[in-house]
Amino acid sequence: MIKRTLKQVAEMCGGNSRGFEPTTIIEGVAIDSRSVRPGQLFVPIVGERFDGHQFAKQAMEQGASAMLWQANRSLPEELTTIPRILVKDTLIALQQLAKAYRSELMTRVIGVTGSNGKTTTKDLLAAVLATVYDVHKTEGNLNNEIGLPLTILQLAEETEVAVLEMGMSEFGEIELLSNIAQPDAAIITNIGESHMVSLGSRAGIAKAKLEIITGLNEQGLLLINGDDDILTQQMQEKSIDEMTFDTRTFGLLSHNDWSAAIVALAEDKSEFNVYYNGESSSLENVVLKVPGKHNISNALAVIAAARFFGVSAEKIKQGLLTAQITGMRIESTLAFNGAKLFNDCYNASPSSVKAAIDYVAGLSNYKRRFVVLGDMLDLGEQERNMHEEIGEYVVNHPIDVLLGYGPLTVETIRVANEGKASSTAYHFQQKEQLVDWLKQQLTAEDVVLVKGSRGMQMEEVVTLLEKG
């Protein structure tokens, strides 16, 4: 983690020092006073509903060496003797500090963004690179304008590669993160439908995701999903003159620079062969312990980035085989009676829900396939149509029972019932009612996939089914 004198920190974040010896050392940064460790710099963030300045005294009692202080905040008498750096805005200062620290490191950075699959891609990539390098990756949800700077400031100076996830909800956010992280390589997994409310369309989302090239190393690599029509169209419209970095495509279709031929799909893994520019590569019979065809596409992005970083085919296969994926992404567990459960509750959009339905439809050796869906949120004016579209999609796949929870899935269930017998799809007003009904129907020979947007907290259904 960052270890600098307070004089250096003040210069790096553009602040003015007050009340401290310039040689005092800070080691690490914290924004939560409850988690401050001795020697850290406390950064009080100001939000819509909170002001971290109110907890500065607690942070210092926890052992912080110094704190940032926003110039427009009055300083309590008891804090006047505390070492502090006066700044105009503590969040901007945190971001400037992270950018300055990043520029001093020899660490190579890979930025990962996309509507779906960015966390899985980040986890896979970190595991593959860790077979060769000292790697640090984004943990949890530290992928925004606060979390990414904190992640950078956590980097040890000897870290060789950092894999940084970049999330966004508005235009300009990825540009900010890219300028802070200054990536040597960047991956855009795909363009989905999340954030339609703020960005208007998939084209708008693609434009926002492509902001990642703003801070990209001129000699770096951009990897985009070549199966994504909107993303490839946006790239074609960009001026070649503004892009000195290399650009490569990945995806399941053969026209991509990096593509794959599927050897086998199972409920807990996939096996595939990798092709580069249409030719067989040294990566054959690659085993991925993450199910679903969409994750093969994610793995191709990982492989392309790993080869750019000089990782051998053997090490790539080793890393993909042993990677640990963040929870609630087609996470396997068992119901109270032994029925198979798949927890895919981290988030949901039309494209990711369709991928989940494809996955369940491809499972064999089960008596019945159940899909439980919560609402997909943040879809804007098209939310009703998109929920209806999922109902149509289910009709055309071998799903035995579809259950819905939330006001928007009413439309999904209605359309599914119009296309099939009315006994195959049901809507519930309460999760407990849904679970009670499901418990009466499930046998140990059945499989259930549960999915919904983060705000729907559909993992509660999984927990209730596990408990019995």
404 labeled binding residue: no
Q: 40-43 long-range CB contacts below 8 Å, 24 or more apart?
A: 40/64, 40/65, 41/9, 41/65, 41/66, 41/67, 41/68, 42/66, 42/67, 42/68, 43/67, 43/68, 43/90, 43/93, 43/94
Instruction: Give, for 308, the enclosing helix (H) or strand (E).
Output: helix 293-308
114 labeled binding residue: yes
198 labeled binding residue: no
Give the whole-angstrom CA distance, residue 222 versus residue 28.
31
103 labeled binding residue: no
Q: What's 140's DSSP letter? A: T
Question: Across the strands, what pairs with 279?
Answer: 276
Q: Return the sign of the alpha-carbon dihedral for residues 137, 139, 144, 150.
A: negative
CA angle 296-308-257, nearest 5°? 50
Give the whole-angstrom CA distance, residue 284 versus residue 292.
18
Instruction: Give, for 166, the enclosing helix (H) or strand (E).
Output: none
Q: Are 251 and 297 in contact (CB under 8 A)?
A: yes
Q: Are 121 and 114 in contact (CB under 8 A)?
A: yes
5 labeled binding residue: no
Beta strands in 311-454 (DSSP E): 331-334, 340-344, 369-374, 401-405, 425-428, 447-451
119 labeled binding residue: yes
Find all residues with CB under 8 Å of 280, minimum gap 6, and list them: 273
117 labeled binding residue: yes
What is the Cα 174 distance to its own chain's centre?
Answer: 13
Residue ranges of the annotated binding site for ATP are 114-120
Residue ranges of the annotated binding site are 114-120
